[in-house]
Amino acid sequence: MEIIKTLFSYSFIMRAVIVGILVSLCSSVLGVSLVLKRYSMIGDGLSHVSFGALAIAAALNSSPLMVSVPIVVIAAFFLLKISKNSFLGGDAAIAIFSSSALAVGIVVTSMTSGINADICNYMFGSILAMSESDVYISVILSAIVLILYLLFYNRIFAITFDESFSRATGSRTDLYNMAVAVLTAITIVLGMRIMGALLISSLIIFPALSAMRICRFFRGVILCSAIISVLCFFTGIVLSYALEVPVGASVVLVNLAVFMLSSLRAKIKA
Amino acid sequence: MKEILTVKNLTLSYEGKNVLENINFDVQEGDFLVIFGENGSGKSTLIKALLNLKMPSKGKITLREGMRHCDIGYLPQAALLEQNFPASVWEVVLSGTLNKMGLKPFYTKKEKDIAKKNMELLSIYDLKRECFRNLSGGQKQRVLLARALCSANSLLLLDEPVSGLDPAATADFYEVICKINDAGTAVIMVSHDVHSSLSVAKHVLHIGAKTTIFFGTPHEYEIEQMGGR
């Protein structure tokens, strides 16, 4: 309790908590669809693109969110297209895409500021990352993501469950797939500086997997995933402060623990 | 009898190569058409064309006036669904009503009533709170059929509906589908199972070697098959 009190006395931690919780919410609900549709790698690809975009933003000395949101949204379009590319194979195409984006980011930074602490923060996340204006942008964007998700919820269920039926009965499945990819892109950009490029995709994948081991219905899985994600983020940030470890890594490890517990519970029940 | 679907001189092709040529058939109100064809005969391409997911390179598919392609209730092959999907039967059936909702984001009483009615028709309303993935093959088909009925009730298109079902579940499925057909819904069923589907069919279309081998009633089909031997 004492730790939590001191934690909230720092305004930079408050900022990280606010943004982190919103990002956890967005990523956990979107993650369920991505995992079920076998698109989890898209999250990973986008986080690497987002690293490249942040490096470019830093080199141009402009606002990180303003530059990286559009770049990553465009990348989401391409990733979705190439993940269906039968010539390269979806997973290989995404791997090429991510490592290239990462390489561009590293080259751009080493040519401008050099490999420094900033790069390290982008890779592994930092609790100090959020400025006040970042918080405003993040709150607005994540509210938009959540509202759109809610409005599209029934459609997203339908295309996740059975895309061919949805397409046959006249749903614009490409539009909804794209919407999910774009919302994911925005979420990843928002969360990346706290969680780090290498760790952000876990926020998408872990809560969804844990929730799927606990709940049996789609709505239950979505709600459960959201709750798990927020609790894990909060616990992770408290632990990171108490044990003085980077926040991204501690959030991932808390998520891993929850995932193992839920798998164990499913095993015992079965 | 009025036609609800007419296919005239239909040719379908991929990258310039014809998969099907010059197909002609029609579906009447209350009809039960079974489509046979060997693997690779272009059955799935024909289904795509009927659902407007593939443009004909020649010929025409005409629907009854006022009907759109998305008004065809579709039952995809169950084997293609993700096996571990967490969803309740209720969630699955309700999603069939989405194509009639326009821009409305949430289900209202109207959609719930449609779902309930169709589930009662297929006697699966008591499965409402069950998890879809835990159902038996036959129950799954009923759920997907209820979903298809929610999206359309004048014409159903079934893609290999009994493949993977055991004989008891197959008989049960045919019974259900005949009940729906008797109630006035026209049915197009693509099938491998020639023998038992002949007993439920009102018309048969046999496609092979890119074109129509036979189109007529099951009785005529049986005669022709015997003559062929």
d(CA B183, CA B204): 20
d(CA B55, CA B48): 9
Contacts of A31 in chain B (CB under 8 A): none
Q: What distance in Å separates residue B108's CA from the closest CA in chain A?
A: 12
d(CA B188, CA B195): 16
By Cβ distance, the residue of B73, B86, B92 closest to A215 is B86
Q: C-alpha distances in angstroms, B227 versus A28, A93, A115, A249?
A: 63, 55, 82, 75
| CATH number of the domain within which A121 lies | 1.10.3470.10
Interface with B, mutate which of A147, A159, A165 (most B CBs under 10 A):
A165
The chain A residue lying nearest B128, using CA atoms, is A217
Q: What is the mean pLDDT of residues B113-140?
A: 92
Q: What is the pLDDT of residue B198?
A: 84
Consecutive 10-residue runs of chain A (270 residues): their mean pLDDT?
A: 81 90 95 90 89 87 85 88 68 84 88 74 81 89 94 94 88 89 92 88 94 94 97 94 90 96 91
Domain ranges of chain B: 1-72+153-229, 81-151
By Cβ distance, the residue of A154, A168, A212 closest to B86 is A212
Task: Count how many domains chain A has.
Answer: 1
By Cβ distance, the residue of B53, B68, B80 closest to A167 is B53
d(CA A149, CA A33): 11
Q: What is the ipTM of this complex?
A: 0.88
Does the pLDDT at position B137 exceed 90? no
Which residues make Cβ contacts (< 8 Å) with residue B209, sequence separation at least 6?
Answer: B41
Does the pLDDT at position B16 exceed 60? yes
Interface with A, mutate which of B95, B103, B150, B188 (most A CBs under 10 A):
B95
Provide the pLDDT confidence category of residue B1 given band limits of 50, 70 and 90.
Answer: low
Quick check: A174 contacting B, CB < 8 Å? no
Quick check: A151 contacting B, CB < 8 Å? yes
**pLDDT, mean over chain B:** 86
The chain B residue lying nearest A35, using CA atoms, is B85
Between chain A and chain B, how many beta carbons pairs sit less than 8 Å apart? 83
Q: What is the pLDDT of residue A86?
A: 59
Question: One-letter amino acid identity for A28?
Answer: S
Q: Candidates 3.60.40.10, 3.20.110.20, 3.40.50.300, 1.20.210.10; correct CATH number of B1-72+153-229?
A: 3.40.50.300
Does the pLDDT at position B79 exceed 80? no
Q: Report residue A62 CA to chain centroid gap.
A: 23
Does the pLDDT at position B229 exceed 70? no
The range of the structural domain enclosing residue A184 comes to: 2-269
